[in-house]
């Protein structure tokens, strides 16, 4: 009896596998991995660019504050 139960379960799982392969067989896992890798690379590049912009903005802010202080001291 236990052998028959295992055999039935194996057959059921095999049918499920065939069903899922038919349903999702069009998905190219390699292509998805490439797209994810590309997206990660672009994300890292965007983070670096954003960091550069942030540094530039802080520098501009510092210059404005320095000029404002000089102007205030001049009056």
State pLDDT tens for residues 26-43: 999 999 999 999 999 999
Per the listing, tokens 């000029």 go with 67
Enumerate the domain spans of the chain.
Answer: 2-74
What pTM was computed for the model?
0.55
Of all helices (H) and strands (E), which one includes residue 54?
A: helix 29-74
Cα separation, 50 vs 58, in Å, equals 12
Q: Which two tokens stand for residue 36?
A: 């994810």
Per the listing, tokens 């499920």 go with 16
Could you read off the pLDDT of 1-35 as tens digits, one per residue? 788 999 999 999 999 999 999 999 999 999 999 99
């Amino acid at each position: 009896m236990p052998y028959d139960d295992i055999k039935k379960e194996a057959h059921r799982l095999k049918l499920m596998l065939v069903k899922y392969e038919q349903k999702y067989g069009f998905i190219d896992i390699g292509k998805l991995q490439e797209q994810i890798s590309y997206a990660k690379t672009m994300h890292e590049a965007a983070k670096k660019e954003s960091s550069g912009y942030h540094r530039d903005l802080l520098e501009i802010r510092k210059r404005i504050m320095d000029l404002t202080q000089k102007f205030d001291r001049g009056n």
